[in-house]
Structure 1
Amino acid sequence: MPEYKVFYFNVKALGEPLRFLLSYGNLPFEDVRISRNDWPALKPTMPMGQMPVLEVDGKRVHQSLAMCRYIAKQIGVAGKDAFEDLQIDALVDTINEFRLKIAIVSYEPDDAVKEKKMITLTQEVIPFYLTKMNVVAKENGGHLVLNRTTWADIYFAGIIDYLNYLTKLDLLENFPNLRQVVDNVLSNENIQKYIAQRPVTEV
């Protein structure tokens, strides 16, 4: 079995879906949490100078979705053929698109601009994405695609706390089918073990 290390800050954010996937598949990994103070010295050693980074037998790779897709294939939660992979990728890309739309507003430095953008985000963008995905989750029996647990479900469960943090909302409050997607993942014994021992973080 390969030796896995995950390099990321001591937060959930973009690292948590990868940690969730490794945990779900019961793949042992070293959870390397980098302090903000140590990051400047470490940054030049990382591919593209960013994290999260996955190390597989000493070889480091970047890009969070690519890493998640790779682990998904190792643990049997990817598609069974190219078209299934396409369907899963489409859902994950939609979640990531949603995340980016939230992040652009959340990290807007101008308070006046942010206030205006936040209105559009909360009244239009968030309801649009969550309503669509809630219907999809209902059609797929509490999953985001293919009527079974795929890495789309695990990715979503891993990223939702971060999205709630950015928006200061409980995004799933009025979307019971999406809540079921997350609950299905969180009920996994390996995920529960990981959550029980992970550091408590604000983000």
Structure 2
Amino acid sequence: MAKVKVTYFDLPALGEPIRLLLVYGGVEFEDIRIEGDKWLDIKPKTPFGQVPLYEEDGKIMNQSIAIMRYLGKKYKLIGANDWEDLEIDAMAETFRDFIIKVAMYHYETSASTKAKLKDPLYKETIPFYLERFEKIAKENGGHLAVKKLTWVDFFFAAMADYMSLMGKINLMENNPNLKAVYDNVMKLPAIKKWHEKYPLTLDGTKAWLEATGKPSAE
């Protein structure tokens, strides 16, 4: 059996979909969670100064979506043909675009710039994406692509609570089909068992986001 490690901060975010895909695949893995100043020691040793990292038999890879796609293939969470795989990939990249737009606002350090970004984000960008995500989830029966469980559902479900905290919104409020995407992952027996062992507590994440999302004075 391959020796597997996942390295990420002690948060959900981009490390969590990888963890949950491994749990779904029944893989025992070393869950390395970076705390405090340890990141300063680890960062120079990473391929591009970023996490998450996925390690398999001593070989290390970065880039979260590439890792998710790889695990999706391993655990049959992909489409029936190339076009369906393209649909899954496109949905994943679109969801990443949404994450980036929310994160840019959250991590903006200029108070004046953040104030200018707020209305466009909350009145235009977030409604634009959520309306379309909800429509797609409805068309796909509680999934984000190809009308069945795929790795992009894990991407969304694992990020949903984190995104809700970062954007100070509830992604699933008034979006029952997005809630179904979330539930279709989180209610899987293996995932429920994982969360019994590692409860999905977000208090620490909330405190971390509040600390990192405060704009500096100008």
Query: TM-score range with shorter-chain normalisation?
Result: over 0.9
Deviation at 1:132, TM superposition (A): 0.6
Say if 2:188 is the partner of 1:178. no
Residue 19 of structure 1 is matched in structure 2 by 19
Residue in 1 that maps onto 2:102: 102
Partner of 2:209: none
Uncovered stretches (5+) of structure 1, i.e. residues with no partner:
none
Q: Cα offset for 1:35? A: 1.4
Residue of structure 1 equivalent to 2:131: 131
Provide structure 2 residue ranges, at least 5 long, that are not aligned to the other structure.
206-218
Which residue number corresponds to residue 154 of structure 1? 154
Across the aligned residues of Structure 1 and Structure 2, the Cα RMSD in angstroms comes to 1.2
Is 2:40 the partner of 1:48? Answer: no
User: How many percent of aligned residue pairs carry the same amino acid?
Assistant: 43
Q: For residue 48 of structure 1, give the secondary structure of its aligned residue in structure 2.
A: coil
The letter for the 2-side match of 1:84 is: E
Question: Normalising by the residue count of structure 2, what TM-score does the alignment of the two structures yield?
Answer: 0.89
2:65 paired with 1:65: yes
Q: Distance in 2 between matches of 1:145 and 1:42?
A: 36
Report the secondary structure of 1:172's partner residue: coil
Once the two structures are superposed, the pairs formed by residues 83-98 of structure 1 within 5 Å of their partners are 83-98=83-98
1:49 Cα deviation after fit: 1.7
Asked if residue 7 in structure 1 is aligned to residue 7 in structure 2, the reply is yes
Shift of 1:87: 0.6
Whole-Å Cα distance in 2 between the matches of residues 187 and 156 of structure 1?
14
**Cα distance in structure 2, aligned partners of 1:15 and 1:76:** 20
Query: Residue in 2 aligned with 1:190?
Result: 190
Give the deviation of 1:36 after TM superposition. Answer: 2.5
User: How far off its partner does 1:4 sit?
Assistant: 1.1
Residues 157-183 of structure 1 deviation map (CA, whole Å, 9 limit, x = unaligned)? 011111111111112101111111101
Structure 1 partner of 2:117: 117
Number of residue pairs matched? 203
> CA offsets per residue over residues 104-157 of structure 1, 9 Å max, x none?
111111122212212111111111101011111111111111110011111100
Distance 1:145 1:6 in 2: 26
- Aligned partner letter, 2:76: G
Q: Deviations over 1:15-68 (max 9, x none)?
A: 111111111222211110011211111222211121100001111110000111
Corresponding position of 2:38: 38
User: Partners of 2:9 and 2:64 in 1: how far apart?
Assistant: 14
Structure 1 distance, partners of 2:122, 2:18, is 27
Residue 140 of structure 1 is matched in structure 2 by: 140
Structure 2 residue aligned with 1:80: 80
TM-score between the two structures when normalised by the length of structure 1: 0.96
